[in-house]
């Protein structure tokens, strides 16, 4: 009888200890579950933050493009139009003068101003891009830069061309424009080559020069002073395009920037 | 070790947490004030039980007094940790518990160990702990849960009262039918209390450290 009572007591103690162990295990499982959930939530938050940043960036670039479009239209239609009218007026007045050659210099200055306004307007919003697409716009861009900078700028392209939507074409155009601007301003190059090649899966654009080269990290570190702002804009646009941007830092001379844009089914050439 | 020494150790194990919590009682959040009151009350009841024992009186009176009011204090601890909408439920639960505890003292178990009251108290505390765990999982208030003092306190309550529930559930059976002297069971109970008190002390230290850090960073800024 006494032995069975002792067994019963020990059994109760065993049940108590097992319960404690189960509870301790439950607390450990809770901690593990908590940490897993926390990690999941953090990842979710990071994705949301990245999406938010991307949307903000897109909105910023869109508003920038809208502003450029408005400014280009104002310059071309308003100021350009007025300058043309003034030129007609001066020509008419010149015919009434005894010596019409006296206003030739003024007319020449006015012609230069009209050309400048047209060029600025075209730089702000390339009408070629809207009318004829990326290939023609890049060809025109290279020709224009070559004419104004006196640097040989060659544009090479393959035979196949992907069909991209206008906002994406505009973003690629801006990236190439910024890269050419940088090369002309800082590289001291004699030759710049722009290459555009498309395959089944991607569009590859390369801007290469034979100048002094640059270290992108130095420029990025200097972004606060505004020096690396161009590269920052290029990288932002590339990110929005979902493109891979590579600076070839292994070159001994000059620089090479490669933009690789993956193509979706509908964009394939 | 004699049961007397184990009981004395159990009572002493409350002191580190009590000292830490009372030393900056006013600057504590209400949650920790309730814990300080609970642990101080527990310490005083233990001392009262010792005195009653040595005066040859029934020491269960001190225990009955403790179990009558400790649930209110534990509810006070959890009150700020769970959503505001549960406040009414806390009130109802405490009133019902108090009524049952009084009925048990005067009509059911009388001067014996209040095992029914203790069992119900353990169930209430386990439910409160699970409720708080649910709030933690839902709200994820901190990246590292082991740095949250209230998590440690809740875990101590949960662990010790889950073990004690088994003890309380069988203590009546052991005393009435098996006529056991309860030494082993009470030692187990005391061991659980010592573990819980140690964790309380750690949580109080953690809270104190975090409060000091907050105060120093505020004064620095």
> Chain A contacts of B184, Cβ < 8 Å?
9, 13
Quick one: average pLDDT of B167-193? 76
Give me the residues paired with residue A259 across strands: A205, A245
Q: Tell whether the model's pLDDT for residue B180 goes beyond 70.
A: no
Looking at per-residue pLDDT, the higher value among B17 and B105 belongs to B17
- Low-confidence winner among A173-182, A216-225, B52-61, B182-191 (lowest mean pLDDT): A216-225
Break chain B into its structural domains and give their ranges: 3-220
Q: Tell whether the model's pLDDT for residue B17 goes beyond 90.
A: yes
pLDDT of residue A121: 86
CB A156 within 8 A of CB A193: yes
Give me the residues paired with residue A258 across strands: A206, A246
> Chain B contacts of A27, Cβ < 8 Å?
155, 158-159
CA distance A231 to A178: 8
pLDDT of residue A34: 92
- Between the CA of residue A92 and those of A106, A108, A112, A114, B11, what are the distances in Å? 13, 15, 19, 18, 112
- Taking the alpha carbons of B66, B69, B70, B71 in that order, is the dihedral positive or negative? positive
Quick one: average pLDDT of B89-100? 90
The one-character DSSP state at B27 is T
- Between the CA of residue B217 and those of A62, A157, A164, B213, B220, what are the distances in Å? 43, 61, 54, 6, 5
pTM to 2 decimal places? 0.69
Out of A23, A31, A33, whose CB is closest to B162? A23
**Inter-chain residue contact A5 with B188, CB threshold 8 Å:** no
Helix residue ranges, H only, A125-205: 127-132, 134-149, 166-182
- List the CATH code of the domain at B3-220: 1.20.1070
Mutate to test the interface with B, among A23, A24, A39, A42 (most CBs of B within 10 A): A23
Residues of B in CB contact (< 8 Å) with A are 133, 136-137, 140, 143, 145-146, 155, 158-159, 162-163, 165-167, 170, 174, 178, 180, 184-185, 188, 192
Please list the ranges in chain A whose pLDDT falls under 50.
none
pLDDT of residue A228: 67
- Between the CA of residue B122 and those of A5, A23, A212, B152, what are the distances in Å? 26, 13, 79, 18
CB A181 within 8 A of CB A230: yes
Q: How many CA atoms lie within 13 A of A117 on its CB side?
A: 19
- Low-confidence winner among A71-75, A175-179, B83-87, B195-199 (lowest mean pLDDT): B83-87
CA distance A202 to A268: 8
**Inter-chain residue contact B162 with A12, CB threshold 8 Å:** no
pLDDT of residue B116: 85
CA distance B53 to A232: 80
β-bridge pairing A244-247 and A255-262: antiparallel
What mean pLDDT, rounded, does chain B reach? 86
pLDDT of residue A267: 55
Burial of B13-38, coded b for 16+ CB within 10 Å and e otherwise, reads bbebbbebbeeeeeebeebbbbbbbb
């Amino acid at each position: 009888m006494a032995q069975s009572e002792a067994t019963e007591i020990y059994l109760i103690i065993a049940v108590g200890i097992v319960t404690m162990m189960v509870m301790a295990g439950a607390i450990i499982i809770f901690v593990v579950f908590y940490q897993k959930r926390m990690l999941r939530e953090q990842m979710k938050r990071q994705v949301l933050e990245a999406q938010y940043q991307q949307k903000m960036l897109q909105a910023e670039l869109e508003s920038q493009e809208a502003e450029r479009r408005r400014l280009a239209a104002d310059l071309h239609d308003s100021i350009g139009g007025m300058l043309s009218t003034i030129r007609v007026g001066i020509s008419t007045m010149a015919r009434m003068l005894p010596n019409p050659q006296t206003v030739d210099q003024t007319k020449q200055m006015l012609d230069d101003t009209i050309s400048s306004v047209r060029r600025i307007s075209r730089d702000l919003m390339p009408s070629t891009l809207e009318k004829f697409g990326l290939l023609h716009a890049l060809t025109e861009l290279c020709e224009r830069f070559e004419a104004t900078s006196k640097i040989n700028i060659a544009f090479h392209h393959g035979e196949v061309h992907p069909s991209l939507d206008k906002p994406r074409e505009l973003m690629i155009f801006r990236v190439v424009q910024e890269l050419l601007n940088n090369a002309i301003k800082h590289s001291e190059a004699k030759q710049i080559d722009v290459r555009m090649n498309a395959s089944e899966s991607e569009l590859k654009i390369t801007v290469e020069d034979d100048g002094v080269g640059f270290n992108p990290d130095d420029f990025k570190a200097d972004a606060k002073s505004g020096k690396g702002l161009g590269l920052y804009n290029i990288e932002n646009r590339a990110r929005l395009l979902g493109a891979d941007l590579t600076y070839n830092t292994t070159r001994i001379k000059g620089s090479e920037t490669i933009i690789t844009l993956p193509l979706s089914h509908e964009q394939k050439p | 070790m004699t049961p007397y020494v184990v009981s004395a150790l159990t009572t002493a194990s409350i002191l580190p947490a009590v000292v830490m919590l009372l030393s900056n009682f006013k600057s504590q959040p209400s949650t920790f004030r309730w814990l300080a009151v609970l642990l101080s009350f527990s310490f005083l009841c233990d001392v009262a039980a010792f005195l009653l024992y040595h005066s040859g009186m029934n020491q269960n009176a001190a225990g009955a007094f403790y179990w009558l009011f400790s649930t209110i204090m534990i509810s006070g601890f959890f009150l700020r940790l769970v959503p505001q909408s549960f406040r009414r439920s806390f009130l109802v639960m405490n009133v019902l518990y108090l009524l049952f505890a009084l009925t048990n003292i005067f009509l059911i178990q009388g001067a014996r160990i209040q095992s029914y009251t203790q069992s119900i108290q353990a169930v209430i505390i386990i439910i409160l702990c699970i409720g708080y765990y649910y709030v933690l999982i839902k709200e994820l208030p901190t990246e590292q849960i082991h740095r949250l003092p209230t998590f440690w306190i809740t875990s101590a309550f949960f662990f010790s009262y889950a073990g004690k529930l088994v003890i309380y559930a069988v203590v009546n059976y052991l005393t009435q039918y098996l006529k056991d002297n309860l030494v082993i069971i009470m030692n187990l109970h005391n061991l659980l209390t010592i573990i819980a008190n140690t964790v309380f002390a750690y949580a109080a230290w953690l809270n104190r450290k975090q409060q000091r850090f907050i105060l120093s960073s505020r004064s620095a800024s």
